[in-house]
Amino acid sequence: MDEISTEWVAEPDLDDPAFVEGLPGVGHVGKLVAEHVIEEADSEVVCRIHSEHFPPQVTVDDDSVAELAAAEIHAVETEGRDLLVLTGNHQAQDNVGHYRVTGAFLDVAAEFDTTDVFALGGVPTGELVEDHDVVGSVSSADLKEDLAEAGVEFRSEEPAGGIVGPSGLLVGLGGKRGFDAVCLMGETSGYLVDPKAAKAVLAVLEDLLGFDVDEEALDDRADEMEEVVSRLQDMEEGPSPGDEDLRYIG
Amino acid sequence: MDEISTEWVAEPDLDDPAFVEGLPGVGHVGKLVAEHVIEEADSEVVCRIHSEHFPPQVTVDDDSVAELAAAEIHAVETEGRDLLVLTGNHQAQDNVGHYRVTGAFLDVAAEFDTTDVFALGGVPTGELVEDHDVVGSVSSADLKEDLAEAGVEFRSEEPAGGIVGPSGLLVGLGGKRGFDAVCLMGETSGYLVDPKAAKAVLAVLEDLLGFDVDEEALDDRADEMEEVVSRLQDMEEGPSPGDEDLRYIG
Amino acid sequence: MDEISTEWVAEPDLDDPAFVEGLPGVGHVGKLVAEHVIEEADSEVVCRIHSEHFPPQVTVDDDSVAELAAAEIHAVETEGRDLLVLTGNHQAQDNVGHYRVTGAFLDVAAEFDTTDVFALGGVPTGELVEDHDVVGSVSSADLKEDLAEAGVEFRSEEPAGGIVGPSGLLVGLGGKRGFDAVCLMGETSGYLVDPKAAKAVLAVLEDLLGFDVDEEALDDRADEMEEVVSRLQDMEEGPSPGDEDLRYIG
Amino acid sequence: MDEISTEWVAEPDLDDPAFVEGLPGVGHVGKLVAEHVIEEADSEVVCRIHSEHFPPQVTVDDDSVAELAAAEIHAVETEGRDLLVLTGNHQAQDNVGHYRVTGAFLDVAAEFDTTDVFALGGVPTGELVEDHDVVGSVSSADLKEDLAEAGVEFRSEEPAGGIVGPSGLLVGLGGKRGFDAVCLMGETSGYLVDPKAAKAVLAVLEDLLGFDVDEEALDDRADEMEEVVSRLQDMEEGPSPGDEDLRYIG
């Protein structure tokens, strides 16, 4: 195997697609959005990216077939912009790998003459979040106006620790390669899988790209998580006084 | 030394051999089977694979001779299929190394025009196992029928955490290279070396490949382990009530 | 992206510039000096060095623009020697990367026909420091006389643990490549950001290179840190008797 | 800098030299022997080996000159065999580096048409050692007879954990490259620097190679360590009953 190999499964004819990344991360916000869009809209796998920098393992599917660790890029046709949606279960396990795998992601985007890259994720607040703002960072300041109109907030030097991993690199490396690259981060506690933060990010994305998917599945998951949170709060309220800070949970 | 070097010791004339991997892992199940077959059947070392990705060390043999860290592939002639049996004491120490060393294993299989790859291992249950089922995962769903007839169980999305290390990669990378690759995992507690799980896996392998080796040595090791377990249970039954869950042992 | 890439932003016409490194390290001494000189003197960014060996991340600036992890080299014109000042927020994350990134720094120095390399840092004493001596290490013993005249102290086999990271490598690799390379280390407790140690190192550098920058900003930061230390000492003096050893603070 | 670079300092005319390695390790036995021979006999530095796989640092010498991390090979002329003695303060920091740096050491040995490689070290016993046996491991069984005559002990499959690091690799890789390679390991507690174990290894080496160096310096260090041990034993004998097991010391 090559250090990174892109296995092409389909070569769909997409019209000016936007590249959307939703790999695992804070609150699984990006991954929830990516998987939701893939499931609700008309989609097919375009390619799988394997790499020596991924963990040395296979996952076993429902048919007992072993699948080599991979990131997958799906073509999604919507009533608005066509999408290339990147998701998966794995990240590169070393620094050099992060840079090179992200480079391979951008190669696929370039293959489809994509100009717009959206990296989706969460930004941890350390507290239960009621209103899920979506915070943005951009490869170039002139991208901010359109995003602000769609409700994205821009805050000076935030997130303070920068953006780590593939989301950050897609904007950093993407910008250097001439993409209009944006990171959209839903505010989330950081302790729990957060479908509500995912909904907030999805709403911004739909607004920007002119599509609309059914949100019932995300709502159902949000309801499940509400119950989890409410049970955790009950436990907190027992012997010690409860508060909305989940710092010691999960 | 090259990054990976294959030192050829013999070039046996094998007829359509099956490639069988039994490196150290959960319950040492794969390694027990591989070493047992090598010892009981007519076998010779075919090649040793050294790699910069193995630990930087030598082992010292009974004649005080230092042997560079290696994986060994043995040719085994049986009354059924000929075998190429891979075993050893070492694994690659980094992700990239795991991928590349597994690639070198498959190169040897390809050298002998092998079509079938069997990766042997254990699957941990967290409890003492009475009936040692053998769970399978495959590179392609059409391999399942023959395996199921030989008693292999297929369970949707199991093992849940996937298959990590060379066994997983042999199936994942092997499948991509066109091998019919199978992982056979004997159920085992995960806490102890498990010759009984090894016997269960060996029985499936013998059935599939039409050979039969004496099992006395494995039975003897199984008896030894029975005693170890029984002594551990006695200890458990002292002050605190004993149960069959060994979660806190070893 | 290449393993290391140098992105040129300007090509200033410098006259026999001295190369000055101030990356993050003990007491942030080197970084404080470098950033202070860049801000107080007439300076511009010359190049940004990106590397797969840096952390896989971006920082977000006050305009919400994501900046790929980088080290920056600035041209600084002074009334004395021209300067090339290296600073940044990141270091290589692995051994090999440290060597290669330092090599790229020296390549930039060579590009400007620099002969003199100054690596700035702190040397930890483990105690509050009143008089901030500046300790030196050199690529060649004949560099010591001029430095000693500027007040640099030379102590046999100190620092005892050697000099780790880019400062050490700039002197070690720099010397091998024919640069006159010097490491100037301000004595500092090692527990706190130390603008006073930075002032001591800056004074030596100004003396050696014949320039003079306003020090008010460093004085202000020094005053802030004084207050922090004084509050820490008050806390110490509560239940337990206070002393000047900050071993348990920070 | 190259990944590994050998900086030649002298090209002495040696007659059939034996290559002797004494890098830091268990009880510093090998390093003590190597440094002692270099100091007591007529020696000069032949080359320094630098590597990106060494720690990214310099050491500072008594003249405040920074020396890039290196291993050094010295030519030593004795009344018996000429020697190439390898020592230093650093080891490779990763697996691949260990293999490659050891390869570079053997390249130097090959440059001088060396046939015999002696890797010196300690073997930990976990208890205070009175009689310092020297245990051997060889690249080829026919080397054992001469060594046994010089007092080397050979024990089946010992050390049980193999020989890790450059000493092991010099024998493992050296044997593969056609050297007669031997590892001589002085028994030592494993908890303290052990000049007595070094004396035992030195005696074997002198016997094998026909040279004889003054041992006063090693005796002095041995006396110092005796005092350290005796003070440690006094401390042990206070509240709890003392014994010769130093398991909990150092």
Mean pLDDT for C209-234 is: 90
Mean pLDDT for D169-176 is: 98
Q: Is A175 near chain C, with CB under 8 Å?
A: yes
If you write DSSP's letter for every residue of C185-221 in order, what string do you get? Answer: EEEE-SSS--HHHHHHHHHHHHHHHT-----HHHHHH
Task: Read off the tokens for B116.
Answer: 């079938």
**Range in C81-85, D95-99, D223-227 the model is least confident about:** D223-227
Q: What percent of chain D lies above the pLDDT cut of 70?
A: 95
Task: Read off the tokens for B212.
Answer: 């039969």
Mean pLDDT for D13-32 is: 96
Query: What is the side-by-side strand order in the sheet with B83-88?
Result: B4-8, B42-51, B71-77, B83-88, B18-21, B116-124, B180-188, B134-138
Chain B adjacent subunits, 3+ CB pairs under 8 A: A, D
Chain A adjacent subunits, 3+ CB pairs under 8 A: B, C
Task: Read off the tokens for D187.
Answer: 């028994």
pLDDT at A238: 62
Using an 8 Å CB-CB cutoff, list chain C residues near A138.
64-66
pLDDT at A245: 43
Sequence-separated (6 or more) residues with CB below 8 Å from residue B246: B127, B128, B189, B191, B192, B229, B232
Task: Read off the tokens for A26.
Answer: 């804070």
Residue D183's closest chain B neighbor by CA?
B66
Helices D195-209 and D216-236 pack at an angle, to 10 degrees, of 150
Asked if B75 contacts B83 with a C-beta cutoff of 8 angstroms, the reply is: yes
Does the pLDDT value for residue D52 go beyond 50? yes
- Buried (b) or exposed (e) across A137-153, using 16+ Cβ within 10 A? bbbbeebbeebeebebe
Task: Read off the tokens for A71.
Answer: 């990131």
Using an 8 Å CB-CB cutoff, list chain A residues near B138.
64-66
pLDDT at D238: 62
Task: Read off the tokens for D29.
Answer: 């036995």
CATH class of D4-215: alpha beta
Q: Do A1 and B103 touch (CB under 8 A)?
A: yes
HEC profile of B125-191? CCCCCCCCCEEEEECCHHHHHHHHHCCCECCCCCCCCCEECHHHHHHHHHHHCCCEEEEEEEEECCC
Asked if C39 contacts C217 with a C-beta cutoff of 8 angstroms, the reply is: yes
Using an 8 Å CB-CB cutoff, list chain C residues near D63.
141, 156
| Displacement of CA B193 from its chain's centroid (Å) | 13
Sequence-separated (6 or more) residues with CB below 8 Å from residue A13: none
Q: What is the pLDDT along chain A (250 residues), one digit of tens a residue?
A: 899 999 999 999 999 999 999 999 999 999 999 999 999 999 999 999 999 999 999 999 999 999 999 999 999 999 999 999 999 999 999 999 999 999 999 999 999 999 999 999 999 999 888 899 999 999 999 999 999 999 999 999 999 999 999 999 999 999 999 999 999 999 999 989 999 999 999 999 999 999 999 999 999 999 998 898 888 888 877 654 444 444 333 3
Sequence-separated (6 or more) residues with CB below 8 Å from residue B65: D137, D138, D139, D140, D141
What's the rounded Cα separation, in Å, for the pair B7 and D104?
21
Q: Is D169 near chain B, with CB under 8 Å?
A: yes
Nearest to C164 among D57, D64, D65 (CB): D57
User: Which of D57, D96, D101 should we substitute to test contact with C (largest number of C Cβ atoms within 10 Å)?
Assistant: D57
Are A and B touching by the rule of 3+ CB pairs within 8 Å? yes
Q: Which residue has the tokens 């290559």?
A: D19
Q: Do C52 and A171 touch (CB under 8 A)?
A: no
Mean pLDDT for C204-212 is: 97
Q: Domain ranges in chain C? A: 4-236
Helices (H), chain C: 29-40, 95-111, 144-149, 166-176, 195-209, 216-236
What's the rounded Cα separation, in Å, for the pair A88 and A71?
4
Express each pLDDT in B165-208 by its tens digit.
999 999 999 999 999 999 999 999 998 999 999 999 999 999 99
Confidence of residue C234 (pLDDT cuts 50, 70, 90): confident
Q: Do D158 and B53 touch (CB under 8 A)?
A: no
| Displacement of CA A70 from its chain's centroid (Å) | 16
Does the pLDDT value for residue B247 go beyond 50? no
Residues linked to residue C8 through DSSP beta bridges, in sequence order: C47
Asked if D158 contacts D190 with a C-beta cutoff of 8 angstroms, the reply is: no
Using an 8 Å CB-CB cutoff, list chain A residues near C58.
137, 162-163, 168-169, 171-172
Fold annotation for B4-237: Rossmann fold (3.40.50)
pLDDT at D130: 85
Task: Read off the tokens for A240.
Answer: 């010690």
Nearest to C140 among D53, D58, D65 (CB): D65
Residues 74-103 of C with CB under 8 A from D: 92, 95-96, 98-100, 102-103
Does the pLDDT value for residue C237 go beyond 90? no
Q: Do A66 and B139 touch (CB under 8 A)?
A: yes
Express each pLDDT in D196-215 by its tens digit.
999 999 999 999 999 999 99
* Identity at D47, one-letter amino acid code: C
User: Which of C51, C96, C173 should we substitute to test contact with D (largest number of D Cβ atoms within 10 Å)?
Assistant: C96
pLDDT at A233: 81
DSSP B28: G
Nearest to C99 among D52, D60, D63 (CB): D52
Express each pLDDT in C3-35 by its tens digit.
999 999 999 999 999 999 999 999 999 999 999
Are B and C touching by the rule of 3+ CB pairs within 8 Å? no
What's the rounded Cα separation, in Å, for the pair C171 and B170?
47
Q: Is B54 near chain D, with CB under 8 Å?
A: yes
Are D and A touching by the rule of 3+ CB pairs within 8 Å? no
Express each pLDDT in C130-176 by its tens digit.
899 999 999 999 999 999 999 999 999 999 999 999 999 999 999 99
The reply to whether CATH 3.40.50.10900 applies to domain C4-236 is yes
E strand or H helix that includes residue C87: strand C83-88
Using an 8 Å CB-CB cutoff, list chain A residues near B155.
64
Using a 10 angstrom Cβ sphere, with 0-12 exposed, 13-18 middle and 19 or more buried, the burial of residue A215 is: middle
Residue C80 burial (CB count, 10 A):
15
Confidence of residue D241 (pLDDT cuts 50, 70, 90): very low
Q: Is B55 near chain D, with CB under 8 Å?
A: yes
Q: How far is C227 from chain A (nearest CA, A)?
A: 25
* Identity at A157, one-letter amino acid code: E
Confidence of residue D30 (pLDDT cuts 50, 70, 90): very high
Express each pLDDT in B221-241 by its tens digit.
999 988 988 888 888 776 544
Query: What is the side-by-side strand order in the sheet with D57-60?
Result: C163-164, D57-60, D66-68
Number of helical H runs and strand E runs in chain A? 6, 11
Q: Do C56 and A138 touch (CB under 8 A)?
A: no
Using an 8 Å CB-CB cutoff, list chain B residues near D138.
64-66
Does the pLDDT value for residue C94 go beyond 80? yes
Residues linked to residue C48 through DSSP beta bridges, in sequence order: C7, C72
What's the rounded Cα separation, in Å, for the pair D21 and D146?
19
User: Which of B9, B59, B60 should we substitute to test contact with D (largest number of D Cβ atoms within 10 Å)?
Assistant: B60
What's the rounded Cα separation, in Å, for the pair B115 and D213?
63
Mean pLDDT for B48-65 is: 97
Residues linked to residue D83 through DSSP beta bridges, in sequence order: D18, D76
